[in-house]
Amino acid sequence: MAIASDPAGLPALGVDVGGTKVAAGVVAPDGTVLETARRSTPTASVGETEAAVAEVVEELAGRHGGPLAAVGVGAAGWFDRAGDVVLFSPHLAWRHSSLRRDLAVRLQRPVWVGNDADAAAWAEYRFGAARGAELALCITLGTGIGGGIVADGRLQRGAHGVAGEWGHMRVVPDGRLCPCGNRGCWEQYASGSALATTARQVATRSPAAAARLLDRVHGDAARLSGEDVARAAAEGDPVALSLVSDVGEWLGQGIADLAAVLDPDVVVIGGGVSVLGEMVLRPARERLDRALPGRGFRPGPRVVGAALGAQAGLVGAADLARRVAPDPRPSPGVP
């Protein structure tokens, strides 16, 4: 596909590569998602993961039929400053992988790649809950915890490209082992994976108390997932509600720590766990109110759910790709 002469007025294709799924969509310039498709994420192989991205892109491009400005890919990983190389991904196989070059060769289209949470943060700033914010943080709760920063209308990626990886702040010394190699990281206590881990522990120790949860997995505690707990909580299961509240408490504590350093005006909570809404946001706000340094003498950030929901990552990736599509050089950069 040739680079569009006027990419700003064309739809772009956005892809969000997470630890469990590859979600993609054709996105209009106003952020409207026109068509979607998805695949499961092959996590053990770089080649298979990139093949899944290519497949979903070609499916959507063929279905859409019309011209596209570019392809944007937000992926769960730590990128170099140029956005060309995935330095490391705790939940996928990328290790110093040249993702942008590889995808550009496979797709023969202009490609932007970057961190999925950065893409989600950009989408919420452009079209969603952080619109107009001076300093906005986005926290994505999914398999792990990702994050993005938009300040003064610019996506902030840090000196080495890896800003916003606060899921790997250590909150419990010598706590749970994290795929990043450290122990006690925030995402081990306030993510979808954390919700599942705690549920399995509770169900193993107290099967009678967790009977309703165990009924969902035919008594096999090892099969409990974060989705099982979320559904049980939505149905009013007290054990599940308590587990979700615990995740919210950990979330609020981490937000208080971030507020002490960055002083944002808004913190947007996105990712798969955000579908729990007030069940997780209410305890997060309550913990923030108790833990904010200087509480009572300073304002804290607003904590809100993502307006774009699970589609924020692909919407942001598409918008970022559209903005850099005229530049065919290997390092397109970010706004």
- Would 332 be classed as within a structural domain? no
Verify that 162 and 184 share a domain, yes or no.
Answer: yes
- Over residues 154-175, the pLDDT tens digits come to 999 999 888 999 999 999 999 9
- Tell me the C-alpha to C-alpha distance, in Å, between residue 69 and each of 3, 27, 97, 99, 245: 7, 10, 25, 19, 43
- Would 331 be classed as within a structural domain? no
Verify that 186 and 275 share a domain, yes or no.
Answer: yes
Beta bridge partners of 302: 266
CATH assignment of the domain containing 170: 3.30.420.40
Name the pLDDT band for 69 (thresholds 50, 70, 90). very high
Number of domains, the chain? 2
Verify that 274 and 144 share a domain, yes or no.
Answer: yes
Verify that 34 and 139 share a domain, yes or no.
Answer: no
pLDDT the model gives residue 2: 33
- Tell me the C-alpha to C-alpha distance, in Å, between residue 161 and each of 16, 80, 171, 306: 18, 5, 23, 23
- Over residues 243-289, the pLDDT tens digits come to 999 999 999 999 999 999 999 999 999 988 888 899 999 999 999 99
pLDDT at residue 296 is higher than 90 = no
Cα dihedral 175, 115, 245, 129, rounded to 10, equals 150
* Alpha helices (H) in 206-295, listed in sequence order: 211-215, 226-234, 238-262, 278-291
pLDDT the model gives residue 127: 97
pLDDT the model gives residue 325: 52
Verify that 218 and 251 share a domain, yes or no.
Answer: yes
Q: How many Å apart are CA 92 and CA 77, to the nearest integer?
A: 8
Q: How many Å apart are CA 272 and CA 291, to the nearest integer?
A: 25
Task: Note the pTM of the prediction, 2 decimals.
Answer: 0.87
Verify that 41 and 92 share a domain, yes or no.
Answer: yes
Verify that 58 and 177 share a domain, yes or no.
Answer: no
Name the pLDDT band for 5 (thresholds 50, 70, 90). very low
- Over residues 120-144, the pLDDT tens digits come to 999 999 999 999 999 999 999 988 8
- Would 2 be classed as within a structural domain? no
- On whether the CB atoms of residues 321 and 66 are closer than 8 A, the answer is no
Rg (CA), the chain: 20
Verify that 140 and 196 share a domain, yes or no.
Answer: yes
**Of 156, 100, 146, the residue nearest 125 (C-alpha):** 156
Verify that 106 and 210 share a domain, yes or no.
Answer: no
- On whether the CB atoms of residues 133 and 265 are closer than 8 A, the answer is yes
Verify that 152 and 185 share a domain, yes or no.
Answer: yes
> Across the chain, what does the average pLDDT equal?
90
pLDDT at residue 61 is higher than 50 = yes
Verify that 56 and 35 share a domain, yes or no.
Answer: yes
- Would 208 be classed as within a structural domain? yes
- The mean pLDDT value for 62-75 works out to 92
pLDDT at residue 102 is higher than 50 = yes
pLDDT the model gives residue 334: 47
- Would 207 be classed as within a structural domain? yes
- Would 127 be classed as within a structural domain? no
pLDDT the model gives residue 1: 31
Q: How many Å apart are CA 267 and CA 167, to the nearest integer?
A: 14
Name the pLDDT band for 4 (thresholds 50, 70, 90). very low
- The mean pLDDT value for 168-196 works out to 93
Question: How would you class 309 by CB atoms within 10 Å of its CB: exposed for 0-12, middle for 13-18, buried for 19 or more?
Answer: middle
- Would 185 be classed as within a structural domain? yes
Verify that 302 and 183 share a domain, yes or no.
Answer: yes
- Would 330 be classed as within a structural domain? no
Tokens of 45: 């192989």
pLDDT the model gives residue 3: 37
Q: What range defines the domain where residue 178 resides?
A: 132-306
